[in-house]
A and B are shown apart, each in its own frame.
Chain A
Amino acid sequence: MSTINLKINGAEVSATVEPRTHLADFLREQQRLTGTHLGCEHGHCGACTVLLNGEPVRSCLTLAVSCQGAMVETIEGMEDDDTMQSLRDAFKSEHALQCGFCSPGMLMTARDLVRRRRACDDQQLREALAGNWCRCTGYLGIVRAVRRVLDANS
């Protein structure tokens, strides 16, 4: 077991973790932040996407123990985030979710895209979302929702 100190959604956290525990399990099981979901645990589906030091990462492919000193943000930490609020509104009006399981990861990736790239064409938008899988919507609502927020920002 190792002790790590890190910031999660703005709060200082000190915890002991097993080396093998990945960040997603640490957040879900030890911190009870269950908005971060596990859809494959091998880096393809994107349901576990969180921000590590401001950048989206796969929390299933990140060891919690390696997050010593890091800043981690999850969907639960996005309450006061304007970009996230715009995305949430757009996701509702474009019916960009059905079962809702992929939504937190999808939103974290979409937020990164919107903030990192003010303008992008549809192909680039789809490439940016390609690492977050949704089995329900067929993506068209998601693409429209993210497009709506991108266009409003540019």
Chain B
Amino acid sequence: MSTSGIGARVERVEDERYLKGLGRFVADIQLPGMLEASFVRSTIAHGLITQIQIPADLRAQVFTGEHLSKLGSIGADSTLPGFQSSFFPAIAREKVRYVGETVAVCVAKDRACAEDLATQVAVEYSPLPGLATMTAAIDPSAPLLHNEWPSNINLAGEIGEELADDLAPVCVQRNFVTARQCMVPLEGRGVVAQWDEGRQQLTVHTSTQIPHLIRRALAETLGLKQRQVRVIAPDVGGGFGLKLVLQPEEVSVCWLAMKLRRPIRWIEDRREHLTVGANARQHEYRVKAYAQTDGKLVGIDVEIDVDAGAYSMWPFTSCFEAAQAGASFPGPYRFDHYHARTRTVMTNKPPLQPYRGVSRTGICFALELTIDALAREVGIEPAELRKRNLVNASDMPFTNVVGKIFDSGDYQASVTTAAEMIGLATVRQAQQQSRQDGRLLGVGFGSYTEQTSHGTKVFAGVGIPIVPGHEQARIRLTPDGSFEVMTGLQSHGQSLETTLAQIASEVLGAPINDIKIIHGDTGETPFSTGTYASRSIVWGGGAVDAASRTLSKRLKAIAGALLNCEASDVVLDDGKLRSREREVSLADLASVWYDAPEELSPDLTDQPLEAVGTYKPTSDHGAFSYATHAATVLVDPDLGAVEILDYVIADDCGRQVNPMVVEGQTIGGTVQGIGTALYEESPYDDNAIPQALNFAQYRIPSALEVPNIKLRSTESASPRTAYGIKGVGEGGAVSPPAAIINAINDALVGYGVEILETPATPERIFQALQQAQASKK
């Protein structure tokens, strides 16, 4: 029994240090003799490096790709047939392929001085045309990013066969575009590396979501054994996908630390982030949806192009996103015919990385706008059309058109709830009345189901070099009777220091303040592929549960001996082990086992008070979280300005370990999605030169732009996971562009115009209205 176990809305144990300014982030680390690094970055998008001039007196402080020429590629290949392999150097050699690509690295006593050096390095290029768009890249006359490839297409894929034009009486067709954007964790990336020549040991503090994978990648790239590398992710100031790949800078900084035998620190600044971090979300969709006249979906035919930038990042590869998009496009809907063509196209922009929601934000946008277009076509309320086509609760588990097997839940109910929360009927009435201030009211919905916590076969199926097997966790009872839990995951806002402790608390009965979660350090924790794909609470939680159960058995056996009862009669509660009559505290039990083992029989002392548990869900399909978001907006047609009046979410992520944390994840993701919907964009000019280099140009939502989002949750337990938990980290970011832009299009319906692009900036809306007006004349 535990009052802080699963389901308890308890305050977070990690809060105190952050609120006192005592968090320890990479940039907070200073080591004796440390030098700081600054990178010389390409100012052109595409070209050959003809010369790098380094002033003679700076040669000991400036290093180029030639210095690192013995290192292999830091990129990743997919095993999918047809995948084109590329060489991704930690520092560019011969050729640069995007603005911001590293060309040299400078070290000095501090960052300012290192930047001074960087300004003295003169790089000469022989420029090639910068390919700013996929259209430019696939043009037969386009120069090749990677000379050995037949074209700039990295991989093409196909699911199913082309659908017949006469498949159904109704067909709506739309093309969609989602903008390239940045993830913008408040803390950028950063690395501090230290090489111990005596011990032949590299210690790397890096702001990462995947310390164990980074260890593997650094060891392989630098030619070390993994035991020679310890990677520590200290406090990490947000990740969202930015920090789940091997970074070129991580490799360079480690190389420098080994070469110079001095600790080296590199901290990404915001200008760097907005330049080389413009690496997410850029897709194009061409959708045909076939339906009966009653709006019942019959089939979908979609072409998806993903702009993957210049290289394939390790380990998720350049083609992961397109593969996921093709497989996930059918969403939460039931229909029988599906055909998808996907292409991963390389351009002269930073390499694509998976951002919270990964491809699902884009596909939800394209699919849900198509659903609304269909609803208008057949004259059915969009919410009603969704309900007609969503998978039925009674059909769970349901195998969809591409063979994904949904586990549990009532998708239709989420639409009903969201419609009720947003006051759909009232909105429709209000739309009939003339408005005083000239602004247009609209309402929109966005439904999704998100495959979370998916497993081995799913990852193996997309051919990436890292496939998660069983998750591990270790737990130990300390000699003073509290617990330490070691996990190879990394918590950077997910609250795992609290929620994993809640799971251990559920099993071991100890209050969470007596359970310390140790994470993010390869030297202290068992291997894990890390924190991504909304997997940590399911996989890590399952492993902590398994380890706790093993330890619990041993503790009960010892307690049985101390309390003179059967082990099976012992209950763990509030830090004590109780029989019917007596009790012993964990502290006293630990004291006997560690300090007075002679009092225990050997069969109780030869079992460690430390256990490793392993876990994976019973199905590699994972657990499907789902939600319907709904928004009402006011559009000012004079300016194209949008105000979100109301925003509601009806969601379900299975059993909630800590409802406060679940809400926080959902609201936080939703606000990132609002940024995607309305504000965030990394534009490029025709030569692929980035145009948004500071926060006056790249906008993320502030408190002022965020509505009072209302949330109503149900808990449909997953039959596949420990405690029925489903993942929740990403879901919030999936629906907002769909819900908000559907609402905008609903507001604009009288103008005969639709916004089919993110972000829906005032200027885009204004231009669309202008075009609509012009075409009427």
A56 interface hit (Cβ, 8 Å)? no
The interface centre, meaning the residue of B184, B236, B237, B660 with most chain A CB atoms within 10 A of its CB, is B237
Chain A contacts for B24, CB-based, 8 A:
34
Q: Tell me whether A138 and B18 are in contact (CB under 8 A).
A: no
Question: When the two chains form the complex, which single residue of B187, B667, B694 contacts A42, counting CB atoms closer than 8 Å?
Answer: B694
Q: Tell me whether B492 and A99 are in contact (CB under 8 A).
A: yes
Q: Tell me whether B493 and A92 are in contact (CB under 8 A).
A: no
**Which secondary structure characterizes the binding site on chain B?**
loop
Chain A contacts for B96, CB-based, 8 A:
none
Taking the closest CB of chain B, its distance from the CB of A80, in whole angstroms, is: 12
The interface centre, meaning the residue of A37, A125, A126, A143 with most chain B CB atoms within 10 A of its CB, is A37
**A130 to B700, alpha carbons, bound, how many Å?**
11
Question: When the two chains form the complex, which single residue of B20, B112, B240, B667 contacts A76, counting CB atoms closer than 8 Å?
Answer: B20
Question: When the two chains form the complex, which single residue of A34, A42, A95, A140 contacts B21, counting CB atoms closer than 8 Å?
Answer: A34
**A39 to B161, alpha carbons, bound, how many Å?**
49
Chain A contacts for B23, CB-based, 8 A:
35, 100-101, 103
Q: Tell me whether A35 and B20 are in contact (CB under 8 A).
A: yes
B71 interface hit (Cβ, 8 Å)? no
When C-beta atoms are compared, the residue in chain A nearest to B13 turns out to be A92
Given contacts A44-B696, A99-B236, A133-B702, contact A91 B21 (CB under 8 A): no
Chain B contacts for A136, CB-based, 8 A:
186, 238, 493, 664, 668
Q: Tell me whether A100 and B704 are in contact (CB under 8 A).
A: no
**A131 to B695, alpha carbons, bound, how many Å?**
11
A41 interface hit (Cβ, 8 Å)? yes
When C-beta atoms are compared, the residue in chain A nearest to B188 turns out to be A39
Question: When the two chains form the complex, which single residue of B19, B269, B660 contacts A41, counting CB atoms closer than 8 Å?
Answer: B269
A102 interface hit (Cβ, 8 Å)? yes
Chain B contacts for A42, CB-based, 8 A:
270, 694-695
B133 interface hit (Cβ, 8 Å)? no
Given contacts A133-B702, A138-B706, contact A99 B664 (CB under 8 A): no
Question: When the two chains form the complex, which single residue of A28, A92, A140 contacts B667, counting CB atoms closer than 8 Å?
Answer: A140
Chain B contacts for A149, CB-based, 8 A:
none
B671 interface hit (Cβ, 8 Å)? yes
Q: Tell me whether B702 and A75 are in contact (CB under 8 A).
A: no
Taking the closest CB of chain A, its distance from the CB of B703, in whole angstroms, is: 4
The interface centre, meaning the residue of B186, B237, B660 with most chain A CB atoms within 10 A of its CB, is B186
Taking the closest CB of chain B, its distance from the CB of A133, in whole angstroms, is: 6
Taking the closest CB of chain B, its distance from the CB of A21, in whole angstroms, is: 7
Q: Tell me whether A133 and B664 are in contact (CB under 8 A).
A: no
Taking the closest CB of chain A, its distance from the CB of B536, in whole angstroms, is: 13
Given contacts A29-B110, A41-B269, A139-B706, contact A104 B671 (CB under 8 A): no
B84 interface hit (Cβ, 8 Å)? no
B672 interface hit (Cβ, 8 Å)? yes
B708 interface hit (Cβ, 8 Å)? yes
Question: When the two chains form the complex, which single residue of B495, B671, B695 contacts A138, counting CB atoms closer than 8 Å?
Answer: B671
B655-694 interface mask toward A, CB cutoff 8 Å, 1 = contact, 0 = none? Answer: 0000011011001111110000000000000000000001
Taking the closest CB of chain B, its distance from the CB of A15, in whole angstroms, is: 15
Q: Tell me whether B704 and A130 are in contact (CB under 8 A).
A: yes
**A39 to B15, alpha carbons, bound, how many Å?**
19
Q: Tell me whether A133 and B700 are in contact (CB under 8 A).
A: yes
**A74 to B21, alpha carbons, bound, how many Å?**
9
B residues apposed to A, CB below 8 Å: 11-12, 14-25, 27-28, 30, 110, 112, 184-187, 235-238, 240, 269-270, 492-495, 660-661, 663-664, 667-672, 694-696, 700-704, 706, 708-709, 732
Can you sample 23 A-B contacts with CB below 8 Å? A34-B27, A35-B21, A35-B22, A39-B186, A42-B695, A45-B186, A75-B21, A88-B20, A95-B663, A98-B495, A98-B664, A100-B17, A101-B25, A101-B185, A102-B186, A103-B19, A126-B702, A126-B703, A130-B703, A135-B185, A137-B664, A138-B671, A138-B706
A residues apposed to B, CB below 8 Å: 18, 20-21, 28-29, 32-42, 44-45, 47, 74-76, 79, 88, 91-93, 95, 97-104, 107, 125-127, 129-143
Q: Other than A29-B110, A130-B702, A134-B186, give 6 A-B pairs with Cβ distance below 8 A.
A: A37-B25, A39-B187, A88-B20, A103-B23, A104-B21, A140-B667
